[in-house]
A and B are shown apart, each in its own frame.
Chain A
Amino acid sequence: MNCAQTRQHLYDYIDGNLEPLQEQVLEQHISDCDHCKLLVEQESRFKDQLKSIPVAGPSMGFEQRVMAKLASQKSAQQIEQRGFMSQTWFAAAMGGAFMVFVLSWFTSFSNLVTTTVPTTLNAVTVELVPNQIRKVSLAFNSPSMIDKATFKIILPANVEISGHKGKRELQWASSLKQGTNHLALPLVATKLLVNEKSDQFITARISHEGKSRDFKIKVISKALQSGIQMEIMPIVDVS
């Protein structure tokens, strides 16, 4: 290799883009040629200088500020999503009697650690009068943010979610924020559930990244004169 060829491949050599054999030949020339040796040294030094150009670091708390802004945006999106859901269901619920039951289910869905169910909530009951709406608000307490979870509500016969007549299943995508997440279910019974042969359940299924967890609300029919009494029992079912 001569000086002209060395110059031609100079940057490839400095950038480490030469084949081993070419590199060997070039290095051989450099070891014999002071001019080319100086050229390589200088180009390498120049490249090092470029890398040494000082860059002012970010201001104090930059990462935290971006993360906080991100959390704020996420929260706004969740409120928007919840608002959309609530708007639809709340509007439907306004036609009938309105009652809120807050259940506090502690889920650790994303990392599947042991679920804790407060014992006092084992037997919350709600009475459904046929063709009148009762809004049951379920609270899922998640230890961390879960993106793009899928919610699915599976209903027993003769129980509907107001505004979704005749539908036994409803599914949508949403996110669980860290902390308490409320899900409002405006339930309505289409007739008295009396003398059913087996237990009936409303299932709230949350799926995320191929895993799912079911929360089953046991519906126990009682021959009440004015309606149906539902006994709500959170049953942990990790599948």
Chain B
Amino acid sequence: MSILNALKLRSPSFEDLIRPHLKGMYYQAYRFLKNQSDAEDLVQDFTLRLYKNKAKLHEIENLRSWLYKGLYRQFLNYIRDNTHNPLNNRDDTEDNDFESNVHHEYSPELLTEQEMELSRVEDALYKLSQNHHHIIIMHDIEGFTLAEIGEIMDTPIGTLKSRLHRARANLKHKLVMEPISPNQCVKS
């Protein structure tokens, strides 16, 4: 058998499968943790844990989504176990997913009046409740569909849809309501 044919027959190793996803997982972890070192540790711990169940990897069709879900679980455990983590000190009172609770309506004109620099958007994003923050990351930033997020978060699509709607409304609310920094005032 030629080496070429042999290579075709060789199934990918754990390393072959995981290596292309390492950076993507890091960015996912960073978006949740907003800390380089913590994000790297989370991905490393997750990868080492995954190796113990490496046989599963060959059976997964949508590996990106599957890894995302696993890393998300690891992240949830991480923040649960780190009670002093600032990510645990969020205000979750806005977490209700019922559509009737959507009370923030903003006109497009109002938003354009604000200088929405990326840092402000980022700050506002991290001030959202955990669920709202996460769904915006997964849907609007990472580009997962609601069906995929339903798998990742173990939540019905209908609930996610209303949660996404509320999350976006809350994010805009924070951007509109929060004062612009003194530097920004000087510039304008």
Contacts and interface: CB of A to CB of B under 8 A. Distances in A.
A58 interface: yes
Interface of A: 11, 15, 17, 35, 38-39, 42-43, 46-47, 49-59, 62-63, 65-67, 69-70, 73-74, 110-113, 144-145, 147-148, 209
A49 B123 CA distance: 13
Nearest to A211: B9
B160 interface: no
Interface in B18-59: 19, 22-23, 26-27, 30-31, 36-37, 39-40, 43-44, 47-48, 51, 54-55
Nearest to B107: A39
A56 B36 contact: yes
A144 B164 CA distance: 47
Contacts of B109: 38
Interface stretch (B68-76, B77-85, B88-96, B111-119): B111-119
Contacts of B26: 57-58, 62
Contact of B108 (A39, A55, A69, A110): A39
A7 B14 CA distance: 47
Contacts of A42: 108, 111-112
Contact of A58 (B1, B13, B31, B36): B36
B122 interface: yes
Contacts of B22: 62-63, 66
Contacts of B146: 17
Given A11-B168, A50-B141, A59-B36, A70 B108 contact: no
A175 to B, nearest CB: 10
Closest 8 CB pairs of A and B: A111-B6, A42-B108, A53-B122, A58-B26, A39-B108, A112-B6, A50-B140, A66-B44
B46 to A, nearest CB: 10
B15 A67 contact: yes
Contact of A11 (B3, B47, B48, B165): B165
Contacts of A11: 164-165, 168
Contact of B118 (A38, A49, A110): A49
Contacts of A111: 3, 6-7, 9-10
B67 interface: no
A159 to B, nearest CB: 33
Given A43-B108, A55-B27, 18 more contacts: A11-B165, A35-B108, A49-B116, A49-B118, A50-B125, A50-B136, A55-B30, A59-B36, A62-B23, A63-B22, A63-B23, A65-B44, A70-B47, A74-B51, A111-B3, A111-B7, A111-B9, A148-B55
Nearest to A74: B51
Interface in B135-169: 136, 139-141, 146, 164-165, 168
Contacts of B87: none
29 contacts: A11-B164, A17-B146, A38-B108, A43-B108, A49-B116, A49-B118, A49-B121, A50-B140, A52-B118, A53-B118, A54-B118, A55-B27, A55-B30, A58-B39, A58-B40, A62-B26, A63-B19, A63-B22, A65-B40, A65-B44, A67-B15, A69-B48, A73-B48, A111-B3, A111-B10, A112-B9, A145-B13, A147-B14, A147-B54
B62 interface: no
B11 interface: yes
Given A11-B168, A51-B141, A59 B40 contact: yes
A74 B47 CA distance: 12
A113 B6 contact: yes
A35 B107 CA distance: 10
Contacts of A67: 15, 19
B39 to A, nearest CB: 7
A65 B54 CA distance: 19
Contacts of A50: 121, 125, 136, 140-141
Contacts of B51: 70, 73-74
